[in-house]
Amino acid sequence: MGKLNIIHLCFLLCTKMGCACELQHKFEMRDMYKEGHIMIGGIFPIFNKQEDMLVSFEKEPHNAECKGFDLRAFRWTRMMMFAIDEINNDDYLLPNISLGYKILDSCASPTNVLRAALTLVSGSEEKDSSCHPPPISALIAESGSTQSLAVAEALGPFRVPMVSYFSTCACLSNKRKYPTFFRTIPSDYHQAKALAFLVKRFGWKWIGALQSDNDYGRNGISAFAKEVEALGVCIAFVGTILRTYPQNKILEVVEMIKQPTVKMILAFVPEGDLYPLMQEVVKQNITGKQWIASEAWISAARPSTPEMFQSFRGTIGFVVQKMAIPKLGPILKDISPYHNSESSFVTDFWETVVGCRPVSSVNILYNSTKVCTGTEKINYTNQFFDITQLRITYKVYQAVYAIAHALHHLMFCEIIFFFHKVNEHLKKVHFVDTVGEKVFFDENGDPPVSYEVINWQMRDGIVQHIPVGHFSTSVNGTYELVIVEDKIVWSTGNQTPKAVCSEICPLGTRKAQIKGLPVCCFDCISCADGSISNTTGAVDCITCPEEYWSNERKNSCVMKITEFLTYTETMGIVLTALSLFGACLAFSTMVVFIYFRDTPIVKVNNSELSSLLLLSLFFCFLCPLTFIGEPTDWSCMLRHIAFGVTFALCISCILGKTIVVVSAFRATLPGNNMAGKFGPAQQRGIVWSCTAIQIVICILWLKITPPFPDKVFEQHNKKIILECNTGSDIAFCAVLGYIGLLAVICLILAFLARKLPDNFNEAKFISFSMLIFCAVWITFIPAYVSSPGKYTVAVEIFAILSSAFGLLLCIFVPKCYIILIKPERNTRKHLYLHDQSFLQTASSHVSKCQTTSINNPRLL
């Protein structure tokens, strides 16, 4: 860049100080020249540079050797000449004004293109030429973005407009830096957009990239990477190449391409830089890669050969739309070195097409070249002569006409002609060219966006560029990509190739990033329970709503199973049967006691309290039925209240019986009048007062925070547990605590009467029943807390039934056994004979309780 700045500085000093700056060189600069009223310059890479040229201002530089005649670039020069001749013959565009041209070769070198540009604006290559206004009004240059950058920066201060036909670097759209740069080909900003749309369309995520070691390649890949980053596309590698690179660097890039996981290769490289690499790819027989091409090489003729096709089959990419200009055909076919009017480069063209050089052009420099005999014929099937698919050539045509229209406006709209005003009029150009296309420039000097998607296919032994779609901006300014997939032939045949580092995660899984690898490389992990992924390639799983759960495949949320203890399931049936059996047993016992109410054993056991106790046990056995079935507001209140009240009545009855037993037989002690204080009225008072306290607790519970049906999600993720929420844990504990208090009092009192005679000692059975009752409800608490779901209700029912069966069996089975099985023991005689001395003492004290004899046993 320092070399360019020196030249630039020379021109600036020349302009401002009027100095006579000189550009000393001894380059052999061939040109194509035609005189005209207004001159237009042209720079084309007619030759491919093989050896870089050193520029020095301390000594004269040596001649640069340029080789590799480029037929496509030569056709561009012919198009420029043709367009100018066509304009000169137009009576409406620039009438009475002729356009001339001077066309130079850049040799595809930034150094050479800068020298050519400075030659054109200085007007002379002679050593003694002094600075003067540029003799050209505009410049058509160049194909390479790097070359155009050098020229645009150097010529900007001179206000010489430059129109490029093939420089696509988006950096050239910077009007502050390059105010006089225009182009007839869309910038790489739009091409990067198009490539991103293409990648998105086919779902490619893992792509290798190649860039040329210049502004075109680096800016192109950078723009593409920014576009696809939001799409989750990863670039596996970026290989850098250039036509002047040594073989070892090319082989390094080839090794990148050979990576087995990378099936898609994007090459943002000019054709001249890519061709050596393509040759090596073919040489190593690397196939199975799908190539994506930038417009700089996809339509080039040199690589479009059957030999290249074996490795680059199915290449797809974007190019500017093709046009046909029939009038150019005869011009191209008429090129011959034997015409005196022909300009420079024709002998090189002839040697490339025919294979020999005319005798007049052979000298010592070409001593190894075959000499023409003059009878050679041109093969007009060469792609050079095909004027039906002009792409970049057509952009040269548009560039010439754009300059002509700007000159036309300047000549006929301005009173005084100033060359520097061509730039201003180029900004306003807006016309329809001879093939019907609109030509204009936006505020950045860029043309409207329009690309054609082409695909490399082999037809009749020839590699053809088949259109398979297009990319353009719509009326509302959005981009639109249209692809006809049925027309595409891929590297894999008719099947669209895949380009992924990791296969897309299926439904029910999510991506898990692999440490140290790009985001496109991941593992697929199944979603956790309760979460799903209903799209492929999900990054995260979606948590199901509270009342839903993930299905087995984790790809959809399903309604959770609503669980509660039902009458139809096995456990519900068993508990219901036990409940009904217990109720029947209690009722049967009550019937037995009523039927045998006049027998001594029933009288001795206080038939009134026994019947009330059996009735309460009957309801206790029926309580579990309120716990089974779907919880409702009424069933939740009923189950807890019924349980609390019935068990309070049951334990109150047992407490009354226990107090009577203890008081009656404690009366055997001298001076004890306790038995007289517990008559029938007192017994009823004890039962109902104790029960009333529980009723008050239950009423307060219902009034403040009553039980209610509730859905529990925490315990079982797959199920919704329908249960009765107690509403108030304090009230629930108060109900249980009160029942427990009564049971403990009963246990203590019964324990005090444990040594009474066996036939009268009901306290033993009460003690044992209370021990069972307390044991059941003590073990109930941890079991209740730890039981999941409907088993919580089952545990509660089991505790109710167990305690009820314990009371029924312990207190009443021995008596029923005597009544029904051993009736001979159910007599007064048997009761007297068992412990006569004790009964005599007891009878005297029972009389104090208004009991005349043992025949009135209600005190007991």
Quick: pLDDT tens for 793-814.
888 899 899 989 988 888 888 8
Between residues 623 and 18, the one the model is more confident about: 623
Quick one: tokens of 692?
Answer: 């009333």
Quick one: tokens of 61?
Answer: 């530089």
Q: Say if domain 570-742+825-859 classifies as CATH 3.90.930.
A: no
Quick: pLDDT tens for 583-623.
999 999 999 888 888 888 887 777 788 888 899 999 999 99
Domain with CATH 1.20.1070 in the chain: 570-742+825-859
Amino acid at 24: Q
Quick: pLDDT tens for 46-56.
987 544 443 33
pLDDT over threshold 70, residue 100: yes
Residue with tokens 């490389």: 521
Q: Are 270 and 297 in contact (CB under 8 A)?
A: yes
Nearest-5° Cα angle at 270, 266 to 273: 100
Q: Are 661 and 860 in contact (CB under 8 A)?
A: yes
First to last CA, the chain: 123
Q: Are 724 and 639 in contact (CB under 8 A)?
A: yes
Quick: pLDDT tens for 765-800.
788 888 888 888 888 878 777 777 788 888 889 989
143-153: average pLDDT: 88
Distances, alpha carbon 123 to alpha carbons 39, 81, 679, 729, 758, in Å: 10, 19, 142, 104, 142
Nearest-5° Cα angle at 769, 765 to 773: 170
pLDDT class of 832 with cuts at 50, 70, 90: low
Helix axes 729-752, 633-666, angle to 10 degrees: 20
Between residues 802 and 665, the one the model is more confident about: 802
95-109: average pLDDT: 91
Instruction: Quote the pLDDT of residue 504.
Output: 84
Instruction: Quote the pLDDT of residue 104.
Output: 92
Highest mean pLDDT among 166-175, 471-480, 602-611, 747-756: 166-175
- Residue of 736, 732, 643, 656 lying closest to 688 (CA atoms): 656
Instruction: Quote the pLDDT of residue 21.
Output: 37
Quick: pLDDT tens for 24-44.
333 456 778 899 999 999 999
pLDDT class of 301 with cuts at 50, 70, 90: confident
Quick: pLDDT tens for 671-690.
555 555 666 777 788 888 99
CA 11 to the chain's CA centroid: 56
Nearest-5° Cα angle at 259, 253 to 260: 155
Instruction: Quote the pLDDT of residue 509.
Output: 94
pLDDT class of 15 with cuts at 50, 70, 90: very low
Helix axes 790-816, 607-622, angle to 10 degrees: 150
Q: Which residues contact 324 (CB under 8 A, 6 or more apart)?
A: 387, 388, 389, 390, 435
Q: Are 146 and 218 in contact (CB under 8 A)?
A: no
Q: With 0.75 as the threshold, say if the pTM is over it.
A: no
CA distance 314 to 458: 9
Helix axes 633-666, 836-846, angle to 10 degrees: 110
**Bridge-based pairing state of the strands 162-164 and 206-212:** unpaired
Instruction: Quote the pLDDT of residue 670.
Output: 53
- Torsion sign, CA atoms 222, 224, 227, 233: negative
Instruction: Quote the pLDDT of residue 497.
Output: 92
Quick: pLDDT tens for 520-545.
888 999 999 889 999 988 889 999 98
pLDDT class of 362 with cuts at 50, 70, 90: low
**Bridge-based pairing state of the strands 31-34 and 99-105:** antiparallel
